[in-house]
C-alpha cells in the first residue's frame, strides 16, 4: 500500500537532489512514482509534476507545469490552501499533512491526502495520494454502519474503539462510556472469561472458531440481553483488531420461550382434555389426535395416525360426514352429531365441533373437538323411555296423581283433572286446600304436614270438592325431591261410588234388621206367652212355629252379620 512512510523515507533524497542540482538523477524515479508529486515555487506556480499527479487531475503534464497550484484545487478548499502556502512561505507554521479536494479537468472532485515538505529557496514539495476510493469506502462503511440494525463493534487492546448506533442502542452505552471499560465486563459472568480469551487471540490476528455464537450480556441498565455475535479479524488504523457484528435476539429469545411455554401449555391442554381432539389433512387422514379421542374409540394414538377418518365413521353417517367436510372446504365451521365405530365394534356418538385449517391460503384439513356423548345419549334414551313409561302410568292411572310444592299444584295427571272437573290452567292457580271440603281440611293438613315431616301416617278418607259436587277420596302420598326442593307427591283415589255402595248396603242391612228382627222378636215373644195358656198338643205346634221363626231369624242374623244367606 502506498503510504507517506515511503515519501518520508525519500524526503532527504528529494531535498538533496533538488538542492544539489542532481534532480536529473531522481527525476525518472519521481516521474514514475505511484504517488502524485509536485514542486511549487514561492509564487505558487507548479514547476514540477509527475505522471501520477497528471492522472489524478486528468490533465496533461504540459497543462500543469507553469500553472498556479490552486487551479487543481476545488473552489471550497482554495482559500484554505492559499493561506497555508502563504504562511509556509513566510516561515509560519502551517499544517504539513491534510486532505483537500482536487478539481479535475473534467470537473470531477477527487479527495487527496497531501504531505508538504518545504524545500530550500521557498519551494514546496507536495506528495499526493488519491484517497477518493478509500474515503468512499469509509463513507460507505459509516453509512452502512449507521443504518444497520445490527450492532457493530470494533475492539482493540481490550477496549471498544468503534460502535455504531445500533450497538449503542443494544448495549445502552455510548462509545465514550465503552472506551473506559473492558468490553468483556458487559458480558454475562459465565461467558466473560472465554470472551476475553477469544477476543485477545483475535486482537493478535488469530483466527478463532466458532466465530458465530449466541452471547448473553448486560445492558447499561443491568438488564440481561442476548445477542448473536459474528466475529472476525480486521486491521483498524494500521493495527490488528477484531470486529463483532451483533443482532439483539433478546425479544426473539423471549418470544421463543413464550412460544415454547405456550406450546407446552397447549400440549398439556390438548393431552389433558377430556374432549377428543383430532386434526386431519386435506385427504381426511389423521395427522394429530390426543389420547382422549384415541381412547374413546378404544385405540392408542399410534394406531390411528395416517388412517382416514372415514375408516371409523358409522356407515349410516358417512354421507353426513362427507357433507360436513365439504362445508369445511368451503370455509364454514360446523357443529354436528356423528357416530364412530370403536375398535370393539361399539357404535359411539360424538358431538363434533369442526373448523377448517389452511396452509398458504389453501384448505389443508380440519381441526375437530369430539365430545363422546354415547353415555349421555343412552341416559337420555333411558329417560325418554322412563318418561314414556311414567307418562303412560300416570295418564292411564285410575287414580288422580298430583304434586304439590309450596301449597300449589306443580303437576296433576288427567285423572286428577277429571276427578276435580277442572282444567290445568285453573288447578295450577289454586291452593290445594281449596279442593278440600271445609270440615276435612284439618285432617288433610295434618296428613300432609306429617308426610312432609316424614312421619308414618294412615291414609285418610276425606271429602274433596269437584265441580260437580262433594266427593269422597282416599289420600296416599309421600315427600319427594323435586327440582332440588321438597314436594308432596300424592295419589287421590276416589271412593265416592264405593262409599255410596257401602251406605246403600248399610241402609239395606239396617232395614233388614228393623223389618225382620222386630216382628220375629214380637212373634217369638207372643208364641212363648201363648204356650203357657194352651194344651200339650198346641204347645208342640207353637214350639214348631217358634223353631221355624228362629230359623228365619238365624238366616236374617247371618245376612246382617256376615252378608251370607244360610241358616
Partner 1 sequence: MNKVLLIVEDERDMQELMKKYIEKAGLNLEIYSAYSGEEGIEKYRELMEKGKKPGLVIMDLKMPGIDGVETTERIMKIDKNASIYGFTAFFDTDWSERLMKAGAKKIIPRYMGFEGLVKELKQYFGI
Binding residues for partner 1, rule: CB under 8 A, are 506, 509-510, 513-514, 516-518, 520-522, 524-526, 528-529, 553, 557, 560-561
Helix H or strand E segment including 550: helix 536-562
Residues 6+ apart with CB under 8 A from 81: 69, 70, 73, 100
Please state the closest distance from residue 528 (CB atom) to partner 1, in A: 7
Please state the closest distance from residue 567 (CB atom) to partner 1, in A: 13
What are 481's strand-pairing partners? 486
Q: What is the 3-state secondary structure (H, E, C) of 369-411?
A: EEEECHHHHHHHHHHHHHHHHHHHHHHHCCCEEEEEECCEEEE
Distance CA 195, CA 212 (A): 12
- In terms of Cα–Cα distance, which of 120, 125, 121, 108 is closest to 35? 125
Nearest to partner 1 of 3, 528 (CB atom): 528
Distance CA 97, CA 33 (A): 19
Please state the closest distance from residue 532 (CB atom) to partner 1, in A: 8
Please state the closest distance from residue 431 (CB atom) to partner 1, in A: 33
- In terms of Cα–Cα distance, which of 427, 465, 426 is closest to 444? 465
Nearest to partner 1 of 13, 520 (CB atom): 520
Distance CA 91, CA 97 (A): 16
Please state the closest distance from residue 496 (CB atom) to partner 1, in A: 18
Nearest to partner 1 of 344, 533 (CB atom): 533
In angstroms, the Cα distances linking 368 to 17, 278, 311, 354, 511 are 96, 5, 16, 4, 85
Alpha carbon 516 to chain centroid distance?
A: 98
Please state the closest distance from residue 519 (CB atom) to partner 1, in A: 9
Nearest to partner 1 of 389, 522 (CB atom): 522
Distance CA 75, CA 63 (A): 19
Nearest to partner 1 of 70, 513 (CB atom): 513
Nearest to partner 1 of 29, 517 (CB atom): 517
Please state the closest distance from residue 476 (CB atom) to partner 1, in A: 25
Nearest to partner 1 of 357, 560 (CB atom): 560
Amino acid at each position: 500500500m502506498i503510504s507517506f512512510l515511503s515519501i518520508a523515507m525519500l524526503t532527504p533524497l528529494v531535498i538533496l537532489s533538488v538542492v544539489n542540482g542532481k534532480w536529473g538523477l531522481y527525476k525518472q524515479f519521481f516521474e514514475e512514482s505511484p504517488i502524485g508529486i509536485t514542486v511549487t515555487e514561492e509564487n505558487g506556480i507548479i514547476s514540477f509534476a509527475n505522471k501520477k499527479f497528471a492522472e489524478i487531475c486528468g490533465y496533461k503534464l504540459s497543462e500543469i507545469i507553469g500553472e498556479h497550484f490552486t487551479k487543481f484545487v476545488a473552489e471550497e478548499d482554495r482559500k484554505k490552501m492559499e493561506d497555508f502556502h502563504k504562511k509556509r512561505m513566510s516561515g509560519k507554521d502551517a499544517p504539513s499533512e491534510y486532505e483537500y479536494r482536487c478539481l479535475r479537468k473534467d470537473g470531477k472532485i477527487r479527495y487527496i491526502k497531501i504531505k508538504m515538505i518545504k524545500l530550500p529557496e521557498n519551494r514546496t514539495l507536495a506528495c499526493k495520494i488519491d484517497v477518493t476510493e478509500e474515503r468512499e469506502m469509509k463513507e460507505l462503511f459509516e453509512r452502512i454502519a449507521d443504518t444497520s440494525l445490527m450492532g457493530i463493534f470494533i475492539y482493540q487492546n481490550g477496549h471498544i474503539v468503534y460502535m455504531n448506533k445500533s450497538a449503542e442502542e443494544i448495549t445502552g452505552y455510548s462509545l465514550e462510556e465503552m472506551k473506559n471499560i473492558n468490553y468483556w465486563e458487559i458480558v454475562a459472568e459465565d461467558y466473560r472469561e472465554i470472551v476475553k480469551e477469544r477476543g485477545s487471540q483475535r486482537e493478535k490476528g488469530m483466527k478463532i472458531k466458532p466465530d458465530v455464537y449466541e452471547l448473553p450480556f448486560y445492558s447499561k441498565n443491568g438488564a440481561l440481553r442476548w445477542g448473536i455475535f459474528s466475529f472476525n479479524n480486521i486491521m483498524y488504523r494500521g493495527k490488528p483488531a477484531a470486529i463483532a457484528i451483533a443482532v439483539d435476539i433478546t425479544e426473539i429469545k423471549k418470544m421463543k420461550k413464550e412460544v415454547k411455554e405456550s406450546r407446552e401449555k397447549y400440549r398439556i391442554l390438548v393431552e389433558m382434555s377430556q374432549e377428543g381432539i383430532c386434526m386431519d389433512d386435506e385427504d381426511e387422514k389423521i395427522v394429530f389426535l390426543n389420547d382422549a379421542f384415541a381412547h374413546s374409540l378404544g385405540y392408542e394414538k399410534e394406531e390411528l395416525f395416517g388412517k382416514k377418518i372415514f375408516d371409523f365413521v358409522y356407515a349410516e353417517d358417512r354421507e353426513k360426514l362427507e357433507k360436513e367436510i365439504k362445508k369445511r372446504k368451503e370455509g364454514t365451521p360446523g357443529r354436528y352429531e356423528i357416530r364412530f365405530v370403536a375398535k370393539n365394534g361399539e357404535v359411539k356418538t360424538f358431538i363434533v365441533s369442526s373448523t377448517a385449517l389452511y396452509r398458504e391460503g389453501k384448505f389443508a384439513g380440519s381441526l375437530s373437538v369430539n365430545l363422546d356423548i354415547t353415555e349421555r345419549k343412552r341416559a337420555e334414551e333411558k329417560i325418554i323411555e322412563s318418561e314414556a313409561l311414567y307418562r303412560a302410568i300416570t295418564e292411564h292411572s285410575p287414580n288422580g296423581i298430583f304434586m304439590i310444592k309450596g301449597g300449589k299444584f306443580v303437576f296433576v295427571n288427567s285423572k286428577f283433572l277429571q276427578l276435580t272437573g277442572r282444567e290445568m290452567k285453573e288447578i295450577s292457580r289454586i291452593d290445594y286446600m281449596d279442593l278440600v271440603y271445609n270440615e276435612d281440611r284439618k285432617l288433610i293438613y295434618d296428613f300432609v304436614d306429617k308426610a312432609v315431616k316424614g312421619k308414618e301416617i294412615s291414609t285418610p278418607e276425606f271429602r274433596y270438592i269437584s265441580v260437580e259436587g262433594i266427593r269422597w277420596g282416599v289420600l296416599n302420598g309421600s315427600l319427594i325431591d323435586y327440582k332440588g326442593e321438597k314436594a308432596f307427591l300424592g295419589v287421590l283415589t276416589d271412593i265416592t261410588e264405593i262409599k255410596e255402595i257401602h251406605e246403600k248396603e248399610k241402609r239395606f242391612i239396617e232395614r233388614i234388621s228393623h223389618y225382620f228382627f222386630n216382628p220375629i222378636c214380637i212373634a217369638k215373644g207372643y208364641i212363648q206367652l201363648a204356650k203357657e195358656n194352651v194344651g200339650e198338643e198346641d204347645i208342640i205346634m207353637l214350639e214348631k212355629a217358634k223353631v221355624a221363626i228362629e230359623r228365619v231369624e238365624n238366616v236374617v242374623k247371618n245376612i246382617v252379620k256376615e252378608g251370607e244367606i244360610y241358616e
